[in-house]
Structure 1
Amino acid sequence: MEHIEEAVNKSTKKAKKKTDGYNNQKWAILSISSIPLVMTLGNSMLIPVLPAMENELSITSFQVSMIITVYSIVAIFLIPIAGFLSDHIGRKKVIIPSLIIAGIGGIISGWAAWKMKDPYWLILVGRALQGVGAAGASPIVMPLVGDMFKNDDEVSSSLGLIETSNTFGKVLSPILGALLAGFIWFLPFFSIPVFCLISILLMLFLVKTPNKREKPIPVKQFFINIKKIFTDNGMWLYAIFAIGAILMFALFGVLFFLSDTLEKTFEIKDIKKGFLLAVPLCALCASSYVTGKIIKENKVLMKRLTFSGCLLSAAAIFILSFSEKLWFLIVMFLISGVGIGLALPCLDALITEGIEKAARGTISSIYSSMRFIGVAAGPPAVAVLLKHSDHILFYLLSGLIFLAAIYTFFAIKPEKE
């Protein structure tokens, strides 16, 4: 009996230690969650302001779309470099300077819009700097969380919160952007450095990364290791990259379609439009949060939820072709948001928990680049498809997400817990 009691006590103490460790890091996780929130606001907040910018700057619709696109294009190419640097010099040493660069970019864009007669090109320079900042900040969050916790349950739960914060930024963006632009059209640019400063202070004072850091691997050996990772894990890694890109392509494509339809078909604008755009994103946000809480370290469950989420989202978008009523559109987009929210935290956790710490930053950054490709490609692709038929758009998006579900089923093969 004594041996049994001793074993139970040891088990209880061990569990308590894990729980205490997670509880002690709660403020750190909330601070880290501010980074994807800020980076999402920095881009998506400008979407409802684009028509006003087009009028104020006297530019074409293509030129105004570049204010969004240049941000994503710069980030796509620089994210893998930022991930590589974070693996070698440390996560915070990459994140904090990146936040500073993003803030400077916001100041340059805002100052140009405020003071210059022809500010368009300098606004693009500022947006490009914000893209540089986004590349070195948001994608490094996933490996940073992986570094902070040894327990996979804590990693999954924290990543669920991070994905929720990212989604909450998308929910808040159209509302906040329309509200700020209601005062001065270029005010959203100046809000970026304020948000970045808050995030920098939180990172400096509340986030403590592990003290013991392994000696950086030589560059040549590092790339040999990366090659070996793709050789050994290529099938499921390529699957996650593709699925992440497809889901973000569909999400931003759907948001672009909904924004366009609300304004042109139903004549809904400004704050009311922002709130309606937030409905499917709220569903995605809640779904991401719950998923992060329940998946823990169960990789089989992660695969099942990703597969189910893709099927649910594909079905909802396919059914959109059955009716053009506003309430029906909102409900189907809400269901689609729930499906995407089921999948994204699982993909994050599979990447973070499936790759060794030394290469985690690089691999997760490649994954983030793939997601940015989806973000950048979604709206222009939908704009082209809308010239032909809404039904073609729905069939294409649902077909792509269904392919993501098939890819999940056959390519991701975790061992049973």
Structure 2
Amino acid sequence: MPPDRSVGIPWTSVAFQTILACSLIGVMGVPIVSPILPTLRTVFGISDAQAGLIITAYTLPGVFLTPFIGLFSDHFGRRPVVLPLLFLFGLSGAAIGFAPAFEVVLLLRLLQGVGASGLMVLAITLIGDFYDGAQRHAVIGVNGSAIGIGAATYPLIGGALASVSWNVPFAFFGISLLVGVVALFSLSEPSIDDPPSLREYADRIASAVLMPRALGLWVAAFCTFFLFYGGVLTSLSLLLSDVHGLSAAEIGVLFSMVSLANATMASQYGRVSKLLPARQLIAVGFVGFGVSLFGVWAATTPVTIGVLLVCFGLGFGVVMPTLDTTTAGLVPGHLRASMLGVLTSMLWLGQTVGPVAFTGIAQTAFDSTTAGYRFLLLFFGTSAALGGVAILAYFQFMAERDSILPFEAS
């Protein structure tokens, strides 16, 4: 079925519905699992560091595969790439519920991560293929809102399903199979330009990574997801269980606060972006991260922690759209996909390293993991807040001197 190119949101278009489904599935893999990490720790008799590997195994493939998803889809078409990813995600994810051992869980999570690695990139690619002008902006806005709502809902779903049995949340990943079947029979193949050669594409990626003006973006992207996946979704999940005795469902409710705040702030980004230059908006977001993590370290009740997670979500809703728009504006249109692929790879890298770093340090360098997590929240919270303030002060000082700033937004 061809896409609806009339002005407005094409709600009845199969192409549009597939795009939303790919985006929602692409962000499903961690928020559903994160609230049940304490439960999985008990089920498989594993340590905190091993529990963190459940997140890392899922995110690791995206670090290496994401920059090349665009190349594969350009050469072979969108359908031949997106359909296998949907089926691989659903089959491997649902199979985790039947895994007999922890090693099998990690293998299946690795395969699931391969499936997830390109879904969100392909969703944005399909938007560019099927829509243009004002309709493209409208579809991008709806797609972003859907991601925020999904990310807010998934912890609740994971926690609620885990109250039935530890393996029930993994059955939810089977939705990807239904989406794949619908797309198999209904999604049309968009027409695409002649693809670049592998050498040309590799040269583009190398140039993008080494652009001086882009280096700060890669660092900010890595640190954002390092803090979120390592500090919040992994470490805080285990702390909420061990210290406050919360169930998976209750942890899911708290984590949904981050995504709700993120979705709310992101929906107002058009207005927020007019207040400060991109470099300063990113710094403000990191101040929000720092205040949140520092506050979580000092908090004594789950309610207070929930309020502080809202602060983290607001910062997230500022930083992520700024990273996307600034990255897209650094280069001409024919290089934009390469740049966004590199940015996405940095995000996956942060997701991969964060859980391993937090759980590994807490388990090996401290007498108890609880003490380790609390110290790491204090350390990284303070570092993020002070770093954000320092960057704000630096650029304000440079602006007052009428100097040429090294990190300009387009």
Residue 413 of structure 1 aligns with which residue? 408
Q: 1:75 aligns with which of 29, 38, 62?
A: 62
- Relative to structure 1, the CA distance from residue 62 to residue 50 in structure 2 (aligned partners, 3 Å threshold; closer, same or farther) is same
Residue 177 of structure 1 aligns with which residue? 158
When the two chains are superposed, the root-mean-square deviation of aligned CA atoms in Å is 3.5
Q: Do 1:70 and 1:128's aligned partners in 2 also have CA atoms closer than 8 Å?
A: yes
Give the AA of the match of 1:31. T
TM-score normalized by structure 1? 0.78
- Relative to structure 1, the CA distance from residue 30 to residue 244 in structure 2 (aligned partners, 3 Å threshold; closer, same or farther) is farther
**Residues of 1 paired with 2:391 and 2:277: CA distance?**
17
**Residues of 1 paired with 2:179 and 2:392: CA distance?**
36
Task: List gaps (5 residues or longer) in structure 2.
Answer: 363-370, 397-404
- Relative to structure 1, the CA distance from residue 404 to residue 146 in structure 2 (aligned partners, 3 Å threshold; closer, same or farther) is farther
Return structure 1 stretches of 4+ with deviation > 6 angstroms.
Answer: 298-301, 403-409
**Residues of 1 paired with 2:113 and 2:6: CA distance?**
37
Q: Do 2:24 and 2:146's aligned partners in 1 also have CA atoms closer than 8 Å?
A: yes
Q: Tell me if 1:285 matches 2:255.
A: no
**Residues of 2 paired with 1:403 and 1:161: CA distance?**
35
Residue 233 of structure 2 aligns with which residue? 255
Q: 2:177 aligns with which of 194, 197, 207?
A: 197
Residue 14 of structure 1 aligns with which residue? none
TM-score normalized by structure 2? 0.79
**Residues of 2 paired with 1:294 and 1:165: CA distance?**
20
- Relative to structure 1, the CA distance from residue 76 to residue 150 in structure 2 (aligned partners, 3 Å threshold; closer, same or farther) is same
2:408 counterpart SS class: coil
Residue 379 of structure 2 aligns with which residue? 392
Q: 2:121 aligns with which of 139, 154, 164?
A: 139
Bigger Cα displacement from structure 2, 243-252 vs 22-31? 22-31
Residues 308-361 of structure 1: CA distance to partner in whole angstroms, max 9, x if unpaired?
433444444455566545444332321221121122123223334554555444
Give the AA of the match of 1:330. G
Residue 35 of structure 1 aligns with which residue? 22
Give the AA of the match of 1:196. S
1:276 counterpart SS class: helix
- Relative to structure 1, the CA distance from residue 174 to residue 403 in structure 2 (aligned partners, 3 Å threshold; closer, same or farther) is farther
What is the aligned residue count? 386
Residues 93-149 of structure 1: CA distance to partner in whole angstroms, max 9, x if unpaired?
3222111111221244334x3xxxx43333322222101101132233333333444
Q: Tell me if 1:219 matches 2:204.
A: no
CA offset at residue 205 of structure 1? Answer: 6.7
Q: Do 2:159 and 2:249's aligned partners in 1 also have CA atoms closer than 8 Å?
A: yes
- Relative to structure 1, the CA distance from residue 31 to residue 345 in structure 2 (aligned partners, 3 Å threshold; closer, same or farther) is farther
- Relative to structure 1, the CA distance from residue 370 to residue 395 in structure 2 (aligned partners, 3 Å threshold; closer, same or farther) is same
Q: Do 2:61 and 2:110's aligned partners in 1 also have CA atoms closer than 8 Å?
A: yes
Residue 247 of structure 2 aligns with which residue? 269
Residue 345 of structure 1 aligns with which residue? 321
Query: Which structure 2 residues correspond to residues 83-232 of structure 1 after superposition, within 5 A?
Result: 83-111=70-98, 113=99, 118-151=100-133, 155=136, 157-192=138-173, 194-201=174-181, 203=183, 210-211=190-191, 213-229=192-208
Larger radius of gyration: 1
CA offset at residue 214 of structure 1? Answer: 1.5
Q: Tell me if 1:365 matches 2:341.
A: yes
Give the AA of the match of 2:197. P
**Residues of 1 paired with 2:34 and 2:215: CA distance?**
31
Q: Tell me if 1:240 matches 2:227.
A: no
Q: Do 1:143 and 1:364's aligned partners in 2 also have CA atoms closer than 8 Å?
A: no
Bigger Cα displacement from structure 2, 340-349 vs 29-38? 29-38
* Larger relative helix fraction: 1
**Residues of 2 paired with 1:73 and 1:134: CA distance?**
11
Q: Tell me if 1:21 matches 2:3.
A: no
Task: List gaps (5 residues or longer) in structure 1.
Answer: 1-17
**Residues of 1 paired with 2:131 and 2:272: CA distance?**
16
Bigger Cα displacement from structure 2, 361-370 vs 201-210? 201-210
